[in-house]
Amino acid sequence: MSDERVAPEPGKRLFEQLFEGKSVEAIAASASEGIEAVMRNVERLLGDIDYLVAGRRAASASFLLATADEEGAKIFILIDACRLDPIRHASVLKGVCKAFYDHRVKYAYNAIRRYPPAFNGVATAWRFWTKRWWPESPDPESGEPAMPHDTYFHREMPLYVDWDYYGKRWILPDNTMDPMRFAGGTEPSRLDTLRADLKQMKGATAGGLLSPSALLCVNEAWRNTYVNESTTPATLEKVQQQLIADLVARIGAPDETARRSPLLARPLYHFTTLTAERD
């Protein structure tokens, strides 16, 4: 248990209160409640973003958009937690709980879901999307500076004054920055994508697919199949087909609705344990 005399680690405390010693039924109920809370918060943040964009406050809106996007990733983290056997995979669940508070890991959850790599490229994609720092090019002629993780440009840069070590100048949030985040051209903007995600979540909720009963179906389908970088597409397909059949039979969801639900996203829990490689 946590020592209350020292500052608690959020991920450790989340594991202790939601997963340690809990039944799969209790975990499914907590996860379902958490998913509903996340959805409500994303909707609240979208309203704030619309207000700021209308007022031409793009910098603050950019920060809230990054925050709302990360909140959405928590839904997939909670679904991942429901896939695991809470006793056999307790150590992995600890990594999942830590991911709940990690900006880079939540960014990777969204990126891999939206830009799915080949089945044998998930580990490489995970390392790419979670890499903390990209060193500058060894070729001085390239002009490529060292770069921080993308979350810096989506979260810190729109909110804080900072010193630009490459340009040797102070930089401050700019309300003209990256308007394509809010109004896409030929492709959906990041805001459009988040709205579409929320719409999908609401549809799944309306169909009972994010209920405790549905999350119990997720656990029953996946708990004996641990997914890592070596898991074949055939194995994933087999479990997903069983899950779809269970959701149709037990939740009453139409087959097509079940296939489009967030419950069919690729499990990523294994990669939350790769902390050393993230840095």
**pLDDT band, very low/low/confident/very high, at 149 (cuts 50, 70, 90):** confident
Residue 9 has pLDDT above 60, yes or no: yes
* Across 86-95, average pLDDT: 96
* Across 12-19, average pLDDT: 96
- DSSP annotation of 45 reads H
> Which residues, other chains included, contact 132 with Cβ-Cβ below 8 Å and sequence gap of 6+?
104, 148, 149, 278, 279
* Across 9-18, average pLDDT: 95
pTM of the prediction?
0.90
- DSSP annotation of 251 reads I
Q: Which H/E stretch holds residue 175? A: none
**pLDDT band, very low/low/confident/very high, at 139 (cuts 50, 70, 90):** low
Q: How far apart are CA 225 and CA 235, in angstroms?
A: 8
Lowest-confidence region among 29-33, 50-54, 80-84: 50-54
**pLDDT band, very low/low/confident/very high, at 277 (cuts 50, 70, 90):** very low
Query: Which of 1-10, 120-129, 134-143 has the highest average model confidence (pLDDT)?
Result: 120-129
Q: Which of 225, 230, 275, 268 is nearest to 77 (CA)?
A: 268
Q: Are 80 and 220 in contact (CB under 8 A)?
A: no
Secondary structure class of 146 (helix, strand, coil): coil
* Across 91-114, average pLDDT: 95
Q: Are 124 and 83 in contact (CB under 8 A)?
A: no
- For position 53, what pLDDT does the model report? 92
- For position 207, what pLDDT does the model report? 93
Q: What is the mean pLDDT of the chain?
A: 90
Residue 88 has pLDDT above 90, yes or no: yes
Instruction: Compute CA 32 distance to the chain's CA centroid, rounded to the nearest angstrom.
Output: 16
**pLDDT band, very low/low/confident/very high, at 201 (cuts 50, 70, 90):** very high
